[in-house]
Every structure is written in C-alpha cells, then in structure tokens.
C-alpha cells in the first residue's frame, strides 16, 4: 500500500529567521540578505528583523564582539583582519569602529605569538624563504607590514641583515 506523500509547509519569515539564528549568530545585514534570497518581501523582512532586535535575538554589537574575539584568539588575526571579517558579515562601519576600539592594543605581541607558532613549521626552509612566507602569512592575517616584518624577524631569530 502506497503512502501518501506529505506536503511540506513552507516556513514563514519568522521561522526561517529563527532557524538561521539557531545555526550561529548573524549580523542584521547578513540575516536580511538570507531572508530576501529566500523570497521574502523587504517590508516583511524589515519588520521581522526589528522584532528580533527588540527581543534580543539579533544584536550586531554583540555579534561583532563575539566574531572579533574569535578572530583574535582562535585565528590570531590582526586589527585589519578582524575589520575585514566583520565587514564581510555585513557589520556596519560604525559598529566595526566601536568593536575595534574595545580590543586590546598589543598588536605586536599577538603578531609575535602567531609568528612563533607558525615559524615552527618553517624550520626546513632557508631563513630568507621562511621570513618571506612568515611575513606574507601575517599580512594575510591582517597585521600591517611593519608589525609583520618585526614579528617574523623575532620569531625566526634573524637580524636586519638576513631579512
């Protein structure tokens, strides 16, 4: 005996937003984009996002702090890397500035820690090649050029002649 196929009821905007937020926190603009791509009207999405903000389920500042902390502690990113990650998730420039202002300011110390950790993997390379790779790695993580070069030199134990 064949069973009757069940018809799935499409999710409404609220249910879809809650499911997206259940996976991970999101910025308002990111959630708005996902809901609009799902076919919901702009006015409906805007009302839903306002509702979620009112009850505290959508908070760009808290999201930005959490993402910044992840990028600093887990990924070892610099300030530019954190700013880029926040912008990519749709966080506003104002919120990015506030979040970056609240970060610890020892960028050189963080860069040195990241460089020392990465330098252990580069021991088989010539010092010049290891230095170039380490500087490039730090730059990709969002550290500026001077900080990257100084941290790479210190992590590899090089003086100015070798770098």
Dump pLDDT digits (tens) for 45-82: 999 999 999 999 999 999 999 999 999 889 889 999 99
DSSP 56: T
In a domain, 161, yes or no: no
Total of domains in the chain: 3
Tell me the pLDDT tens digit for each residue of 27-55. Answer: 999 999 999 999 999 999 999 999 999 99
Task: Name which of 15, 5, 63 is nearest 38 in CA terms.
Answer: 15
Domain match, 44 and 85 both: no
Q: Is 85 within the bounds of a domain?
A: yes
Q: For residues 119 and 156, is the Cβ–Cβ distance under 8 A?
A: yes
Specify whether 17 is located in the same domain as 53.
yes
Query: Scanning the structure block, which residue is given the tokens 């009302």?
Result: 47
Band (7; pLDDT cuts 50, 70, 90)? very low
Q: For residue 114, is it within any domain?
A: yes
The C-alpha angle 43, 47, 52, rounded to 5 degrees, equals 145
Residue 162 pLDDT > 60: no
Say yes or no to pLDDT of 161 above 60: no
- Angle of helix 79-88 relative to helix 93-101, nearest 10 degrees, comes to 150
**Domain span at residue 79?**
60-105
Helices and strands, counts by H and E, the chain: 9, 0
> What pTM value is reported for the model?
0.79
Q: Calculate the average pLDDT of the chain.
A: 90
């Amino acid at each position: 005996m064949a069973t009757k196929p069940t018809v799935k009821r499409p999710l409404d905007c609220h249910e879809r937003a809650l499911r997206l937020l259940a996976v991970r926190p999101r910025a308002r603009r990111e959630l708005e984009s996902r809901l609009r791509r799902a076919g919901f009207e702009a006015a409906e999405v805007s009302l839903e996002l306002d509702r979620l903000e009112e009850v505290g389920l959508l908070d760009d500042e808290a999201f930005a702090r959490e993402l910044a902390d992840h990028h600093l502690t887990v990924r070892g990113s610099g300030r530019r890397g954190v700013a880029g990650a926040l912008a990519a998730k749709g966080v506003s420039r104002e919120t990015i500035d506030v979040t970056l202002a609240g970060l610890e300011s020892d960028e050189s110390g963080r860069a040195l820690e990241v460089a020392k950790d990465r330098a252990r993997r580069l021991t088989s390379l010539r010092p010049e090649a290891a230095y170039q790779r380490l500087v490039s790695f730090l730059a990709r993580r969002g550290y500026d050029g001077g900080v990257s070069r100084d941290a790479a030199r210190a992590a590899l134990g090089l003086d100015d002649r070798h770098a």
